[in-house]
Amino acid sequence: MSTDTGQRLRDTILELSRDRGPDKTICPSDAARAVDADNWRELMDEARDAARALAREGKVVITQGGEAVDPDVEWRGPIRISISAR
Question: For the segment 47-86, what is each residue's pLDDT rounded down to a tens digit?
Answer: 999 999 999 999 999 999 999 999 999 989 999 999 998 6
- 67-68 β-sheet, strand order: 67-68, 60-64, 80-83
Q: For the domain 3-83, what is the CATH code? A: 1.10.10.10
Q: What is the pTM of this model?
A: 0.93
Domain borders along the chain are: 3-83
Three-class secondary structure assignment of 17-66: HHHHCCCCCECHHHHHHHHCCCCHHHHHHHHHHHHHHHHHCCCEEEEECC
